[in-house]
Amino acid sequence: MVVLKTSAEIDAMKEAGRLSAKALRIVGEAIRPGISTLELDALAEEVIRAEGGIPAFKGYGGFPGTICASVNEEVVHGIPSAKKILRAGDIISIDTGAIVEGWVGDNAHTFPVGKITPENKHLLAVTEQSMWAGIDAARPGNHLGDIGFAIQSIAERAGYSVVREYTGHGIGREMHEDPSVFNFGRKHTGLELCVGMVLAIEPMINRGKRKVRTMSDGWLVCTRDGKPSAHFEKTVAITADGPVVLTQE
Ligand code: MG
């Protein structure tokens, strides 16, 4: 069931979105060779709690972190660890969210660590561009398939592949609400989009093949071919005037 939000509720969600974006920005600014993903996790939690927010991921399905930190061939859901030390040349997806007044924000960004290869720079640029194309398609009268089509077209035109097993999602009082927002699809298919839907749009794009596997901790998802993957996400409200990004400061 898709839970539509009133414009007052969307306004209320902007606060959770703002705090989620702030935590993501501050973690991004702290990323450097030598830092551990557990240190980044502590920083995100500090930022969120300092403003009275609750880390949305911590305890969700038993997940232990405030952030998901996924490096290089890791796609999503990396558990922060003191043993995971960033090195120059890595790329790291940080995914984090905050709950404020019962509303949830969710966003992700893949950051370079120091100097990265031109190939990985291109992967990051294309993945972010595909997210923005998906966001631009999030308009009343369009369909869910238009979002997936926009994302898939950009990724595949660049020679990359779209992860199929994980998707974006509706979001509101719950982090994961209906509908699933696929990052692939055909134009004008699927659920019709309407005013009041709030969606987390989050392409996960691989430099190599699309297949992924879940590792033995039950959380971490990696590419099967070991090639790098990138992930960008924003929480977006569909309004009569078009898409409005809620995860922004
Ligand atoms: Mg999400």
* DSSP sequence for 147-177: HHHHHHHHHHHTT-EE--S--EEE-SSSSSE
Residue 7's closest CA among 235, 198, 178, 199?
A: 198
Position 184 scores a pLDDT of 98
Radius of gyration, CA atoms only, the chain: 17
> Cα of 197 to ligand 1 centre, how many Å?
15
Give the pLDDT mean for 137-155. 98
- Counting residues of the chain whose pLDDT is more than 90, the rounded percentage is 100
Q: Within 10 Å of residue 141's Cβ, how many Cβ atoms?
A: 10
Distances (CA, A) of 228 to 5, 23, 63, 85: 36, 24, 23, 17
> Cα of 34 to ligand 1 centre, how many Å?
27
CA distance linking residue 224 with residue 197, whole number of Å? 34
Supply the DSSP string of 18-81, one letter for each residue. Answer: HHHHHHHHHHHHH--TT-BHHHHHHHHHHHHHHTT-EESSTTGGG---SEEEEETTEEE-PPP-
**pLDDT classification of 80: cutoffs 50, 70, 90:** very high
> Cα of 204 to ligand 1 centre, how many Å?
11
CA distance linking residue 203 with residue 160, whole number of Å? 12
> Cα of 168 to ligand 1 centre, how many Å?
6
Burial of 188 (0-12, 13-18, 19+ CB in 10 A): exposed
- Counting residues of the chain whose pLDDT is more than 70, the rounded percentage is 100
Position 202 scores a pLDDT of 98
Which SS3 state, helix, strand or coil, does residue 115 take?
A: coil
Position 247 scores a pLDDT of 98
> Cα of 18 to ligand 1 centre, how many Å?
15
pLDDT in tens, 81-125: 999 999 999 999 999 999 999 999 999 999 999 999 999 999 999
Q: In degrees rounded to 5, what are phi and psi of residue 204?
A: -120, 115
Average pLDDT, the chain: 98
CATH superfamily of 7-243: Creatinase/methionine aminopeptidase superfamily (3.90.230.10)
> Cα of 236 to ligand 1 centre, how many Å?
11
**Contacts for 46 with CB less than 8 Å, ≥ 6 apart:** none
Break the chain down into helix, strand, coil percent, rounded to 5: 30, 25, 45
Position 223 scores a pLDDT of 98
pLDDT in tens, 184-235: 999 999 999 999 999 999 999 999 999 999 999 999 999 999 999 999 999 9
**pLDDT classification of 69: cutoffs 50, 70, 90:** very high
CA distance linking residue 33 with residue 218, whole number of Å? 27
Tokens, residue 189: 């298919």
